[in-house]
Structure 1
Amino acid sequence: MLVKDIMQDIGETKKKDTRFTNRLIPFHDVCSVSSGDIDNAIKSAGKEYLKDGSQAAGQKFMGVVKIRNNNTVNKESIINSIGDIFTKNHTVDLNDPDFTIIVEVFRNVCIVSVLTDYIKLRKFNIFGLFSGGFAEPKKSIHKDP
């Protein structure tokens, strides 16, 4: 993924090649703002983590939802949808997730991403990564199997 490669390069070299960019938000799927479309976009973006018997089964995940300039969708309902979709094969861990599901709603557009190293890359914030380098995740409260 191009954005992840850019963020890793900034973290390793401490050289910022962007002038007016603060945050890069990669996305896997874009949809309209309705609960059915958002659920389908989440399933589409996270399809490799939803396969039964795959190597990804049993991993830890975290959901991040941001809603701006929209009053038609509810943050809690999107978080519940993410939980309903992914908790069948995975566990929730907000401190040290293996992958992160990001749902961003702006007006009538919804962007969905499934990312690894979200915490390590400082939530894809360029200035945070440039000044502080890679972040160490907090200790997980879950015991590894």
Structure 2
Amino acid sequence: MSAAQNDSRKRSKKRYVAGHHSKRWKGSRELEVGMEGILITCNMNERKCTAEAFNLLNEYADKLYGPEKLQENPGSSSDEEEAEEEDVDVALKKEVAQLQASGAKQERRFQALDSGANNVIFIRTQNLESDKLVHHILSDLHTTKKKKSRVILRMLPVTGTCKAFQEDMVKYLTTFLEPWFKTPNCATYQIAFKARNSSHNKRDEIIKSIAGLVGKLNPKNKVDLTNPELTIIVEVIKAVCCISVVKDYTLYRKYNVQEVVKEDAPKPDVTAAKTDSKTAEQEEKPDAGETDKEAKKEDEDKNVARDKEEADNGEGGGE
């Protein structure tokens, strides 16, 4: 084998190894089964969306749960002074331990992961209730009508995840939905289903199977597509199914942070409109009684004028 061919094989091997490691690292930061968090959709600007999401979530999380407390890196000036007084071996071991501890990954309250779909980011949450946080954010935006983001579209909490196969979803939801729909609990509901980068699930079949499951939990549970008390959100991305049960889904414009801050359009008053229309017609078309009176008055005026003219002619002729 020539030297040129040998160099070519080495370069190809290096590229393969480099690509393999980068892919494996990226995979460790992807949405996976067992996680909880928030799905956030945007429009063509995921980096800015992520920054806005962190600002918005931290602002309201600080109000609900208090500021995030991070572990301080071990080691300080006083520790260094003590280390100088210790034996060299002890100081070296202590320093190595400190470096290992400081290099350990801290679990942040919010962590951005690759969702597996374009224009969708997943914010993993730790030690908080994502559905409660998102509802609090939308409630405040709906009340204040204050716009706090430019590229974020929808914020959907994810309180449960499972494999995105119909059998797995039904099995998981059997237990997951009990707090809201199992006897004696009951509610009106709707199912909001969407699949991204997944073709093995048919929308109608999934919705039908979930509705049948909810009916088995309590026959009093009824579907309401206009103004349901609860909405079952099912978001499938690749092989992961993200699930949550939320309130006020219709009121908060399907959890769209851009739409929820808009002023509600006033509904037309049908009764007032009909009354105004009748009034206008009455003004344009007087009733028959008034018309007869006006006609009689015109006839009387004509008779008086004719009598006066005849009287004037008679006086003239007499002279």
Which structure has more helix as a fraction of its residues?
Answer: 2
Helix, strand or coil: the match of 1:25? Answer: strand
The aligned residue for residue 79 of structure 1 is: 207
Cα deviation code 1:3-27 (max 9, x no counterpart): 0000011111111223431110112
The alignment-based identity, stated in percent, is 30
User: Take 1:17 and 1:63, find their aligned partners in 2: how far apart are those partners?
Assistant: 28
Q: Aligned-pair distance for 1:75? A: 0.8
The aligned residue for residue 140 of structure 1 is: none
The aligned residue for residue 190 of structure 2 is: 62
Cα deviation code 1:102-128 (max 9, x no counterpart): 111111111111111100011000111
1:107 to 2:247 alignment:
no
Q: What does 1:18-29 align with in structure 2 at a 5 Å threshold?
A: 18-29=149-160
Q: What does 1:1-145 align with in structure 2 at a 5 Å threshold?
A: 1-53=132-184, 56-57=185-186, 59-87=187-215, 88-132=219-263
Q: Aligned-pair distance for 1:51? A: 2.5
With structure 1 as the length reference, what TM-score do the two structures score?
Answer: 0.82
Aligned partners of 1:31 and 1:110 also within 8 Å: yes
- Runs (4+) off by over 6 Å: none
- How many pairs does the alignment contain? 132
Paired amino acid for 1:108: A
Unaligned runs of 5+ in 2: 1-131, 268-319
Rg comparison, structure with higher value? 2
Helix, strand or coil: the match of 2:260? Answer: helix
Aligned partners of 1:45 and 1:112 also within 8 Å: no
Aligned partners of 1:3 and 1:26 also within 8 Å: yes
Q: Say which structure, 1 or 2, has more relative contact order (CA 8 Å, 6+ apart).
A: 1
Unaligned runs of 5+ in 1: 137-145
With structure 2 as the length reference, what TM-score do the two structures score?
Answer: 0.39
